[in-house]
Amino acid sequence: MKKWLNRFAALLLGLAATAVQAGPINVLWYTGGVTNSPNYKNNINNLISQAAAAPGHNTWSITYWDSGSMPSGSYNALVVASPQGGWATYPNYGALVSAAPTFGDRIMVTGQDADWHYLNGPGATPFNGPQGFLIDAVNWAGSGTGLGAVLLGADSSDYTSEGGNILAMLTGLGSETGHGTNTVKIPAAFASFPINQGLTSAGISGWNTSAHNGWTGFDTGLWTGINTNSDGTTAITLVSKATAGGGTGGGTPSVPDPATLALIGIGLPGLGWSLRRGRRRG
């Protein structure tokens, strides 16, 4: 009897946790007009279904921003396409710089061009690679306060040569190394952070090339380097320090559906009565 009650309790608590864990994330994806074969947008759209099955189990809605004014609407995360890789047409960042969006409390600046490698290799699978890097980054950025940001393949000179340097809006980044590496390491201190869940150093390395830029001398009061080059001297990915260990549950906690609420509402009182009865008999 006790085993059955324990299993039932675990089931109910699991349902309750699942009901409130995942939330919707409205993503504004700045393409800057990037084109590639296969099609950039069609491939990025595949991340929507992959995110639902990945850690966080968030539902995504993606709006693409190719040029012109910033699309109206409320967004949890802004993703900026990488200037790195062999694009047929490279992104132009002029519209983004002109709009000068105000960022919230979660910003990622990374030298990894995970969008290019998601399309071209190592590809869309497995999770421990470009797919997981993108999903974790967007889930983390979109689960904070205000407009989160994921700046892919970030490089001041490349951004500038393609229309404008979005990094100039940020402070405390230090010095850019401006050189690539194929070996990226997740320090042990950050391996358990939600932004790195499901990822390993091996999974975010070996992309030929895994990262095109890094940072040294950054303000450690503002930024945390959640992955580095092989010897740890250069941060490959910087994130807002105050929220670096934050969760990835979504921009707004989802409301449990009526059936789940009913099951929890019926089950928990019954479970409590059964446990009290069991204690009296004991």
pLDDT (tens digit per residue) in 242-280 = 999 999 998 754 333 333 334 334 444 443 444 444 444
Residue 269 and residue 183 share a domain = no
Residues 228 and 271 in one domain: no
Within 8 A by CB and 6+ apart from 3, the residues are none
In the prediction, which pLDDT does 22 show? 66
In this model, does residue 9 exceed pLDDT 60?
no
Judgement on whether residues 184 and 271 belong to the same structural domain of the protein: no
- Coil, strand, or helix at residue 12? helix
Question: Quick one: pLDDT at residue 15?
Answer: 39
> Which range among 31-40, 97-106, 272-281 shows the weakest confidence by mean pLDDT?
272-281
Do 147 and 195 share a domain, yes or no? yes
Q: At residue 240, does pLDDT exceed 60? A: yes
pTM listed for this prediction = 0.83
Domain match, 262 and 246 both: no
Rounded Cα–Cα distance for residues 62 and 157 (Å): 28
Instruction: Say which residues have a Cβ less than 8 Å from residue 236's Cβ, sequence separation at least 6.
Output: 110, 111, 112, 181, 184, 211, 213, 214, 225, 227, 228, 229
Q: Could you give the CA distance from residue 112 to residue 110 in angstroms, rounded to a whole number?
A: 5
Q: Which domain, by its residues, includes 269? A: 1-19+256-282
State the average pLDDT for the chain: 87
Shared-domain flag, residues 132 and 167: yes
Token output for 41: 């947008």
Q: What percentage of residues in the chain have a pLDDT greater than 90?
A: 78
Q: Contact, 106 vs 75, CB < 8 A? A: no
Claim to verify: residue 110 and residue 3 sit in the same structural domain:
no
Count of domains for the chain: 2
Selection from 57, 144, 64, 161 nearest residue 105 by Cα: 144
Q: What is the pLDDT of residue 49?
A: 95
Average pLDDT over residues 202-216: 98
In a shared domain, residues 98 and 221: yes
Q: Is the pLDDT of residue 236 over 50?
A: yes
| Closest by Cα among 239, 230, 232, 226 to 205 | 230
Which residues of the chain form beta strands (DSSP E)?
A: 24-30, 59-65, 77-80, 107-110, 148-151, 175-176, 215-216, 223-228, 235-240
CA-based angle 28:89:206, to the nearest 5?
Answer: 80
Instruction: Note whether 166 and 185 are same-domain residues.
Output: yes
Alpha carbon of residue 254 to chain centroid: 18
pLDDT per residue as tens digits for the range 115-151: 999 999 999 999 999 999 999 999 999 999 999 999 9
Based on the domain organization, do 59 and 194 belong to the same domain?
yes
Closest CA to 80 of 113, 38, 49, 43: 113
CB 225 within 8 A of CB 235: yes
Residues 136 and 198 in one domain: yes
| Cα-based distances in Å from 20 to 83, 234, 244, 249, 254 | 37, 38, 22, 8, 6
pLDDT of residue 252: 53
- Co-location of 51 and 39 in the same domain: yes
